[in-house]
Amino acid sequence: MEVKIKTALISVSDKSGVVEFAKKLGEMGVKIISTGGTAKRLRDEGISVVGIESVTGFPEMMDGRVKTLHPKIHGALLGMRDKREHKAAMEEHGIEPIDLVCVNLYPFEQTIARGDCSLAEAIENIDIGGPSMLRSAAKNHKFVTVVTQADQYDRVVEEMEKNNGAVSGELRSDLARIAFGLTASYDAAIAKYLNGKAGIEYPEKVSIAIKKEKLLRYGENPHQTGALYKLPASGETSVSSGTLLEGGIEISFNNLMDTNAAFELVKEFSEPAAVVVKHLNPCGCAVDDDICVAYRKAYEGDVVSAFGSIIALNRKVNVELAQTIMESYSRFGKAMGAGGFFAEVIIAPEFDKDAVEIIRTLKAWGGRVRLIETGPIDRTSIDGSEFDVRCIVGGMLLQKRNLVGWEPDALTYPTKAKPTKQQLEDLRIAWLVGKHTKSNTIVLVKNKKVWGVGAGQMNRVESGLIAFKRAGEESKGCAMASDAFFPFPDNVDNAAKAGIVAIAQPGGSKKDDIVIEAADKHGIAMVFTGKRHFKH
């Protein structure tokens, strides 16, 4: 059913495009009712506007808190035009129907994102009249068109121009569902803020407001659908906040999962670092004063697994680094018997224009790779209140994010042998890499370079054997990290056979004494971190 727009109420906080929209409505003979700043803006542009107080018979009051909360507004929105009783009530009380509501809400999320925002200021930016009008209009979308954002203006105008001022039922229904999503998201942001202010970690009810960014080609597998959603208020440097540069093929669900894993690891390091990830696990990681050297070391860690991987860097990609990445196979892969190299994604804080050109043209695969630019990595912007959400069938598990890193002051040294300064540095890297690797996890590092990773095994002994095999002869002199404690000395005995010189593990096993005794027997320096890094 088409409904002709005769009267519209416009009250917007974000005034982008509203003047042009109102002008087109006015040209089609639509009566425009407006409030406060919106009315002034439209009048200043020569648009005829009826003030809200002329409709309600009441002035705006209480610093603007009360202006649209009135029966003549909500009756005009909620009245069913095909019900005799509704029409009679509207006529009796002088309520004229409103056919279109154009409202966007007070900028609550933008306000609280400011570091100097007070609780009082946040409260004043909670919109009441706006959501009320949107919900009324959306509920009665059989007769009312509800417009909530500037990118909807053209859709409405186009329909009106085609249909002699009328809007179709299909469009009204679509706009109504979007309006309810907006008010739900708005309320979720307010609840999250107030829960945070009250120190409530796990409130009675949780609504997570996320906004659809794009549909993906498919989900984890081609028979699954998928989409990318973003938390609109997050100010953290992340994959979600990054910009996908032009070129490359469409990014996929798995690409985004792997890229997030790679970038969250590389964010752990303040010094130049490079990470190579495959199937959510690091297969290469290295730290160096020179980012090009760090990348080479990371790639060399496992050139076979690096094929089709994600590369994450915490420094700008300049011409030299771009050339180093694109020549990875010719420099290192052939010598190690690898079958070639290409990357699915390269993510970094910044890309020089010339570096992008090199990546796109130097190798045939360069035209396919997705490049994500994140801007400077600012660890002070990490959102510790954001939930780590895991889905189970019929429910969700929520936990706080694991933001614990390497804590030097929390370390204890239970063995006779103590780690050297260099070994401590390698243990730090191994521990951080282990934090971002699927459990059970063993990571081997030497000279700030990962040499072996054992990930996701059902027992820790097997994870260790995989890591030792991956490192081969290079395991001699390596530092080793385990994401959880050793319940038995078998991992230490195997580490000694492989030539491991230092181990970092949480400690806390009932058999710590036996494990420490084994380390002392083999002359291995052991460090207890006091924290566990399970990652399922």
Active site residue 522: no
The tokens for 29 are 């003979």
Task: Concatenate the DSSP letters of all residues of 455-480 into one string.
Answer: -S-SSHHHHHHHHHHHHGGGGTT-EE
Active site residue 139: yes
The angle that helices 36-44 and 18-27 make with each other, rounded to 10 degrees, is 70
Whether the Cβ atoms of residue 262 and residue 311 lie closer than 8 Å to each other:
yes
- The reply to whether omega before 255 is within 30° of 0 (cis) is no
Helix (H, G, I), strand (E, B) or coil at 53: helix
Residue 105 zone, left/alpha/beta (φ > 0; ψ -120 to 50; rest): beta
Residues 6+ apart with CB under 8 A from 304: 336, 338, 339
Q: Measure Cα distances from 520 to 253, 330, 428, 442 in Å.
A: 47, 44, 21, 20
Catalytic residue among 139, 142, 230, 316: 139
Query: How far is the C-alpha of 281 from the C-alpha of 277, rounded, in Å?
Result: 5
Query: How far is the C-alpha of 476 from the C-alpha of 499, rounded, in Å?
Result: 4
Whether the Cβ atoms of residue 260 and residue 241 lie closer than 8 Å to each other:
no
Catalytic residue among 4, 87, 279, 511: 279
Over 364-380, what HEC string results? HHHHCCEEEECCCCCHH
Percentages (nearest 5) of helix, strand, coil residues in the chain: 40, 20, 40
The tokens for 238 are 């992340």
Strand partners, 147: 102
Instruction: Enumerate the active-site residues.
Output: 139, 279
